[in-house]
Amino acid sequence: MKNKTLPISIIIFLAFCFFVFLKGLSNTNNYIPNESLGKKIASFNAKNFFNEQEINSDELFIEKKIYLLNIWASWCVPCRNEHGILMQLSQNDSIKIIGLNYKDNLDNAKKFINEMGNPYSKILRDQDGTISIELGAYGVPETLVIDNNKIILKKFVGPLNNQSLKEIKSLIR
Amino acid sequence: MFFSQLGFYSLIIGLIFSIILFPVAYRDLSIVNNAISSNIFSILSLKLFFVFLSFICLIISFINSDFSNETVYNNSHTTKPLFYKISGTWGNHEGSLLLCLLILVFFIFIFLITSRKEPKKYRIITLLFQEIIIIGFFLFLLITSNPFNHLFPIPQEGLGLNPILQDPILAIHPPILYLGYIGSSIILSSSIAAIIQNNVNNYWAKNLKNWVIISWIFLTIGIVLGSIWAYYELGWGGFWFWDPVENISLMPWLCLTALVHSILVLEKKSLFETWTLVLCISSFTLSMCGTFLVRSGILNSVHTFAHDPSRGIFILIFLFLLILISLIIFFFFHKEKKIKQKNFLFSKETSILLNNWFMMYFLSVVLIGTVYPIFLEVITNEKISVGPPFYNKLLIPFLIPFLFLMSIGPNMKWIRQNVKLLNVKLILLFLLSIFLSYLILIKTELNTLFGSVLIIFSIYLFFVTIRDFFIKNQINFSQKISHFGFSLLILSIIMNGIFSREIITNIKVGEKYEFNNGTIYFEDINTSKKKNYISIVGIFRIKENNNNEIYLEPELRIFNQPIVVTSEADIKTNFITDKFLVMNLVKGNDYYNIKYQTKPFMIWIWLSAILMCVGASINFFKRKQNEE
């Protein structure tokens, strides 16, 4: 039999790599381009979800609170999953959640809100999806954390989860 | 709807055929004759048919914008042009994996057809090992990344919005790259089979070399296409960013490049058996490792696909299983032959071995630079990013001896070279290179020692490879072209690096700006209204001191609702230099901020890489001819 040291040490080394990668997978953090963080959110006009009134985004982020701009749609399956977290966050007085309804059928969207509850202080409509594109959204759902100076503090691509809930709460303090 | 279902069931049927293949092939192993049973061929053809059908179904779903299919919904859009709907099929995680599977199934089919003259057992074991990989891909697709997932309620519009990915080059970049990656799987399987059969000899090497060359060619073209895309479409003014995903394609490339050389020694001289096997196993392992790093989302990069830890765990386990099986087979079955031949310091084998060592060094630098941040984060929770300075510092000093060896190595003879160290012509060439480098250096502010020496040696290599075309020696024509291509590549990259210039200034319509080599005139501005944006095209005349005049027309697009500005660079390419101009609005006044870059020899970087592939293709077709 040949010298066993080499194969055994290789296998030990590989096992080490395996566990490092395995551990690395669990700290997976989403890739968020840094360019948009720390910058002012672009201003835009949108129609109000309930009364079709035109609203300018500059009128939205005035109070001294933390704003969440949540892009959602009734047909978006992950949006349902994160809705509970949004409802939870809406209990918090120092947070205001603004919904941006992305390319949706108005009736379906209203049904969604009636069924799941309304965490939003205001809902805007993005009928053709251009606002979301201009905000640099990757898809639905996506959540921007914005302060009253309209600076983007954080961006969550994909549905919010308990981890992001903690991160948002840490931003309030 | 229908096509998604059809595609899904075809995939399952394909998987069943893959599993059926094992007992059939096992039975065939015990039959003593030299032809593989036709059952195996029929199963393989059927499997190829079903996987192909499944792929076609996915394409049809994309063409029809069938948003009940989750993959289509995530990656397509009704307003996309037809061409990009089709290319969108493999522009995403699920579709690209399906394409990989199709290539895997196709390649093993080709392998069995073209390897008729080789021992039957060897072919069947290769087939079986390849089937293990194929089944792995099948399971990965069906369990974690099914391209035919159903969505209900059916969305009205898809999410595929990213205009940056709508580019003809990017449409063919992934398939070509996959051909390279997957080609190396055949190299792995057949080397495993050769180890088991104790069949590692020069005949085996001669046949395997075709696969090595094919994979190498596709991988090279794939990398070049990606780099061209980054340059023209992203407009960052560069062609290589040491982005983890770029590195990942570079690692198997370095490994295959080493393999192309070492397998030559095995073919001609029956040396470096073990070493060649190690390279064979590593090249596919590195490709898979790349897949893991990209698809699991463990790395942060522009290329990262949607992340899902379960995918990462699957590939991780699959990858390590493959490595483990390969290693076990390698250590248990491989018997090193005692070689009585003496090794000489000055011989072709030694120079190829040195080439391999350098390749391994470059490979380790890239590997460490890519993977080390992950290790560090897991172990110490510290985040670092490894960028170009790291690679430049570690690679450039070692590139110098590498270039020098490359200029003398290929002219050596097998076994033994009687060294004439003083070849007057070569020394003259070397002096000429020093002189030319001096001329180049006084034109630049470059004053690092390594940089200067690197220029001397790259010019020297360039001359030597040109000289090789005119003298008779043992280098065959294809090798001359490839080596010439490589020297041109290195030279263009260096020249591009030291001669790139950049001017940034603010300028108004009608004004001019003078710089060292010329003047920029801002002639006019044209504003026109497009469908959903206002286009502002600046017309710039650039007059150089040698009276060359060019016009560049960068564009600004102001989207009206809401107001967002994007800028489109204008690039003028010619054989000597690229001129690159981009402009931006300056808020609050009439000034525009412009960035003007000259990038010499850009086009030669692509051309020289293509030249290397041409050399390799000539080699491939000549071998085919000789066989017939």
The predicted-structure confidence for B291-339, as pLDDT tens digits, reads as follows 888 777 676 554 545 556 678 888 889 999 999 999 999 988 887 776 6
Interface membership of A5 toward B (CB under 8 Å): no
Category of B539 on φ-ψ map: left (φ > 0), alpha (ψ -120 to 50) or beta: beta
Least confident of B5-14, B105-114, B432-441: B432-441
Q: How far apart are CA B421 and CA B377, in angstroms?
A: 51
Q: Is B544 within 8 Å of B518 (Cβ atoms)?
A: yes
Please give the pLDDT value at position B417: 60
What does the pLDDT look like over B181-227, one tens digit per residue? Answer: 999 999 999 999 999 988 888 889 988 999 999 999 999 999 999 88
Q: Between chains, do B156 and A75 touch, taking CB under 8 Å as contact?
A: yes
Does B439 score more than 90 pLDDT?
Answer: no
What does the pLDDT look like over B341-363, one tens digit per residue? Answer: 666 667 788 888 889 999 999 99
Q: How far apart are CA B186 and CA B114, in angstroms?
A: 12
Q: How far apart are CA B460 and CA B510, in angstroms?
A: 47
- Quote helix, strand, coil % in chain B, to nearest 5: 65, 10, 25
Does A34 score more than 80 pLDDT?
Answer: no
Residue of B155, B316, B562 lying closest to A43 (CB–CB) = B562
Please give the pLDDT value at position A173: 63
Please give the pLDDT value at position B338: 65
Interface membership of A16 toward B (CB under 8 Å): no
Mean pLDDT value of segment B258-282: 89
Q: Between chains, do B374 and A24 touch, taking CB under 8 Å as contact?
A: yes
Q: How far apart are CA A126 and CA A101, in angstroms?
A: 6
Please give the pLDDT value at position B110: 93
Higher-scoring residue by pLDDT: B587, B255: B255
Interface membership of A22 toward B (CB under 8 Å): yes
Residue B245 pLDDT level (bands cut at 50, 70, 90): confident
Please give the pLDDT value at position B561: 47
What does the pLDDT look like over A95-148, one tens digit per residue? Answer: 889 999 887 778 888 888 888 888 998 899 887 777 777 777 766 788 888 888
Does B136 score more than 80 pLDDT?
Answer: yes
B134, burial (CB in 10 Å: exposed 0-12, middle 13-18, buried 19+):
buried
What does the pLDDT look like over B483-511, one tens digit per residue? Answer: 999 999 999 998 888 888 888 788 888 88
What does the pLDDT look like over A51-64, one tens digit per residue? Answer: 888 888 888 888 88
Residue of chain A with shortest Cα separation from B151 = A77
Please give the pLDDT value at position B14: 95
Structure tokens at B64: 């029809």
Interface membership of B502 toward A (CB under 8 Å): no
Q: Between chains, do A25 and B296 touch, taking CB under 8 Å as contact?
A: yes
Does A81 score more than 90 pLDDT?
Answer: no
Please give the pLDDT value at position B474: 61
Residue of chain B with shortest Cα separation from A5 = B331
Higher-scoring residue by pLDDT: B581, B566: B581
Residue B163 pLDDT level (bands cut at 50, 70, 90): low
Interface membership of B307 toward A (CB under 8 Å): yes
Mean pLDDT value of segment B107-116: 91
Q: How far apart are CA B606 and CA B490, in angstroms?
A: 11
Interface membership of A21 toward B (CB under 8 Å): yes
Residue A46 pLDDT level (bands cut at 50, 70, 90): confident
Structure tokens at B80: 């996309």
Nearest to B229 by CA among B165, B180, B305, B169: B169
Å from A68 to nearest chain B CA?
A: 19
Q: How far apart are CA B234 and CA B512, in angstroms?
A: 28
Category of A52 on φ-ψ map: left (φ > 0), alpha (ψ -120 to 50) or beta: left
Lookup result for tokens 């055994």: A8
Mean pLDDT value of segment B134-145: 92
Does B532 score more than 70 pLDDT?
Answer: no
Least confident of A31-40, B68-77, B98-107, B432-441: A31-40
Q: How far apart are CA B282 and CA B180, in angstroms?
A: 14
Q: Between chains, do A21 and B307 touch, taking CB under 8 Å as contact?
A: no
Average pLDDT score over chain A: 80
Instruction: Fill in the amino acid letter for B85.
Output: K
Predicted ipTM of the assembly: 0.74
Q: How far apart are CA B152 and CA B154, in angstroms?
A: 5
Does A31 score more than 50 pLDDT?
Answer: no
Mean pLDDT value of segment A28-37: 52
Q: Is B214 within 8 Å of B183 (Cβ atoms)?
A: yes
Distances (CA, A) of B556 to B559, B566, B599, B615: 10, 6, 22, 42
Mean pLDDT value of segment B613-622: 90
**A133 three-class SS:** helix
Residue of chain A with shortest Cα separation from B377 = A24
Residue of chain A with shortest Cα separation from B157 = A103
Q: How far apart are CA B24 and CA B475, in angstroms?
A: 46
Interface membership of A45 toward B (CB under 8 Å): yes
Category of B24 on φ-ψ map: left (φ > 0), alpha (ψ -120 to 50) or beta: alpha
Contact residues, B window 63-82, toward A, CB-based 8 Å cutoff:
74
Instruction: Count CA atoms closer than 13 A to B396's CA, side-chain side.
Output: 19
Q: Between chains, do A20 and B379 touch, taking CB under 8 Å as contact?
A: yes
Q: How far apart are CA A44 and CA B53, in angstroms?
A: 46
Q: How far apart are CA B280 and CA B258, in angstroms?
A: 10
Interface membership of B564 toward A (CB under 8 Å): yes
Does A158 score more than 90 pLDDT?
Answer: no
Residue of A25, A44, A57 lying closest to B313 (CB–CB) = A25
Q: Which residues of chain B does A133 touch, with a Cβ-Cβ cutoff of 8 Å?
A: 161
Structure tokens at A34: 């840094």
Please give the pLDDT value at position B8: 94
Q: How far apart are CA B610 and CA B489, in angstroms?
A: 10
Q: What angle do CA B161, B166, B492 make, to 5 degrees?
A: 135
Q: Between chains, do A57 and B320 touch, taking CB under 8 Å as contact?
A: no
Interface membership of B337 toward A (CB under 8 Å): no
- Report the percent of chain B where pLDDT is more than 70: 89
Q: Which residues of chain A does B377 touch, with a Cβ-Cβ cutoff of 8 Å?
A: 24, 27
Average pLDDT score over chain B: 84
Distances (CA, A) of B149 to A127, B1, B308, B371, B628: 26, 10, 15, 33, 48
Does B98 score more than 90 pLDDT?
Answer: yes
Mean pLDDT value of segment B22-44: 87
Does A1 score more than 50 pLDDT?
Answer: no
Phi then psi dihedrals of residue A143, to 5 deg: -130, 130
Q: Is B618 within 8 Å of B477 (Cβ atoms)?
A: yes
